Chains A and B, each alone.
Chain A
Amino acid sequence: MDFLTNLINGISLGSIYAIIALGYTMVYGIAKMLNFAHGDVIMVGSYVCFVAMNSLGLSPLVGVLLAVAACTCLGIVIERLAYKPLRQTASLAVLITAIGVSYFLQNAAQLIWGADPKSFTSVIPFPSVTLFDGQLVISSVTIVTVLASVVVMVLLALFVSKTKLGKAMRACSEDKGAAQLMGINVDATISMVFGIGSGLAAIAGVLLCSAYPTLMPTTGAMPGIKAFTAAVFGGIGSIPGAALGGLLLGIIEVFTKAYISTELADAIVFALLIVVLVIRPAGLLGKVSHEKV
C-alpha cells in the first residue's frame, strides 16, 4: 500500500510539475528563451487566489478563475514590456532580463504581501477518499490535481493540434519568418502563448499551494526550477515531452524521498537528469537537431 500511496502522490506532484513545464516548453518552443520568471508567475497566481478567498471572501472557484485571469494578463504584459524589445537579440540577454523580471516579481510580492509565509487554504473543500479499509487514503487535492492536469493536457493537445490558433503557434515555433509570410500575426501568437503558459502557471500555483499550503514570495522558485528541469528532461520544446518529464520527475522525487533519502532527494533527481541528458542529449522526446553543413 505504501507503494501505491507513493505512486499516487508522485503522480499528483508530477502533474503539477507537468503543468508548469508545459508553460516553459511552449514559451521555449515559440520564443526560444528560458523564461526564468515562470516560477514566480506561479507564486503570483497563488497570492491572487489567496487574497480572493481570504481577504475578499470569494468562493474557491472564483479565486482560481481570478488567478488565471490575472496571470494570463501578467504573462502578456511581461512579454510585451520585457521580452519583446529583445526578440531579435541573443538569448543570454533575454535570459538575464527574465531573471530581472523574476527578482521584480519576488520583491514586489514581498512588498505587497510581506515576507512571512501565509497559510494557504486549500481550494478543494472535499474530504479525503479512503480505500481498502483505511489502508489507502487519497486526499481530495491529489485527486483534483491529477484530474485537473489531465483535463488541461487534453485541452491543450486539442488546442494545439485542432484549432487555427494552435496551428499558428506551431507554425511560429517552426519558422517565424515563414509564418509571417503566411499571414500569421506573430506578435499576437507569441503574446497568446505567454498568456496561456502563465494561465497554466496560475492553475499549477493554486494546486501546489493546496497540496503544500505555505505561501511566500519565493514559493515559485524551486518548483519553477524543478519544472524547468522536467521540461528539459522530456525534451524542451516538446509538449508531450513536458507532460512526460513532469510526471516522471514527480514520481521519481516522491519515490526517492520514500525509499532512498529525503535529504538527498534533490541531488538524486538532478543527477538522474544529467544521466538522461548524457544518454539522450535532447531529452526523452526531444529531437536532436543537426546543423546543415
Chain B
Amino acid sequence: MSSEDRDKREPMGDVGDAVLECQHLGIEFGGLRAVNDLNLVVGRTQIAGLIGPNGAGKTTVFNLLTKVYQPTHGTILLDGQDTARMSAAKVSKAGIARTFQNIRLFSTLTVEENVRVGLHNQVECGMWSSILRLPRFWASEREYHRRALELLDVFGMADNADDVAGSLPYGAQRRLEIARALATNPKLLLLDEPAAGMNPSETAGLMEAIAHIRDTFGVAVLLIEHDMELVMGICEKITVLNFGEVIGSGTPADIQGNPQVIEAYLGKQDAREGGE
C-alpha cells in the first residue's frame, strides 16, 4: 500500500512521459507469489535500476515484462500499448529488448549473424525471395550487413564479426548480447546484471557505454545490478524489490536513505544501528 503511494507521488513517474507502466503486476507459481502487486514506471530515455537482495524476484520481473512468463495479475503498458497478453515475440516487436543473466547467445552463429537475427523484424525478406535469390534478397542482405556492422562498431566488435559467438570471451559475449538486443530497435532495453563478472575498470567502461547507448539510440534502460557503484552512478531512478514486493522507489539519494531498503539489505539489527 505504502509503496504504491510512493510510486504515485514519485517525481519522475510522470505518466505522460512514461515508456513503461506496470500496474499491480504479479505472478504466482503454485501459490507462491514470486512477484506481487508491482507498480513500476520507467520514463522515456530514463536509466532506471531494479535492485534487491538475491531471490527478490528481479529477474522474474524481466521475465514478466518480456513474456517468458505469463503474469497472473496486472497490466503492462508499453508506450500506451497493452503488452500483458502478447507473445514474447510480439513484445519484442512492440519495443522491449533484453539481455539475460546467464548469457543466451546463438552460440553456433557468428557475431554478425547474431546481430542479423536481432535485426530480424527490422529488415524484411520473405522465404520465397530467399530461395529464389530475387534482387530483394540481395538488397536485404546488404542492408543486414550494413546495419549489423554499424551496431558492432558501436561496441568495438566489428573486427570480430566473423567469429563464432560461443567462442568469444565472457565480456565480449555480454556486449554482443546488448548489441543484439539493440538491433531490435527497442524503446526499452532491459539489462540483467550487465556488470556480472566484470572488473572495476570494465564496469566503469560499461557505465559509460550504457549512458552512450541511451543517448545514441534514444532508449530507456531498466537494469538489474548488484554493483551499487554502477547503480548509484548511472540510474536516475531506482526501484527496490524484496520478497517480490516493491519496498522503495526514488532517486539514488532517496534509496540510500530509505530505512526499509537498508533493513532489507543489511538486516534489522544493522538497520537500527544505521539509523542511530
Interface residues of A (CB under 8 A from B): 292-293
Contacts and interface: CB of A to CB of B under 8 A. Distances in A.
Interface string B90-118: 00000000001010000000000000000
Interface of chain A, main secondary structure: loop
A293 B60 CA distance: 9
Nearest to B63: A293
B251 interface: no
Contacts of A292: 102
B134 interface: no
A293 B68 CA distance: 8
Contacts of B63: 293
B59 interface: yes
Nearest to A293: B68
A293 B101 CA distance: 8
5 contacts: A292-B102, A293-B59, A293-B63, A293-B68, A293-B100
A293 B102 CA distance: 7
B72 to A, nearest CB: 15
A54 to B, nearest CB: 55
On chain B, which size bracket covers the interface? under 10
A97 to B, nearest CB: 23
A293 B66 CA distance: 11
Contacts of B68: 293
A293 B65 CA distance: 13
B30 to A, nearest CB: 12
Interface in B54-77: 59, 63, 68
Rank and list the top 4 A-B pairs by shortest CB-CB distance, nearest first.
A293-B68, A293-B63, A293-B100, A293-B59
Contacts of A293: 59, 63, 68, 100
A293 B61 CA distance: 12
A292 B104 CA distance: 12
A287 to B, nearest CB: 12
Nearest to B29: A290
A292 B29 CA distance: 14
Nearest to A292: B102
Contacts of B100: 293
B92 to A, nearest CB: 15
A246 to B, nearest CB: 30
A36 to B, nearest CB: 27
Interface string B35-67: 000000000000000000000000100010000
B177 to A, nearest CB: 13
A293 B59 CA distance: 8
A293 B98 CA distance: 12
Nearest to B104: A293
A195 B29 CA distance: 39
Interface string B120-142: 00000000000000000000000
Nearest to B60: A293
A292 B100 CA distance: 11
B70 to A, nearest CB: 12
B35 to A, nearest CB: 14
Nearest to A291: B68
A104 B207 CA distance: 62
Nearest to B59: A293
A293 to B, nearest CB: 5
Interface in B159-209: none
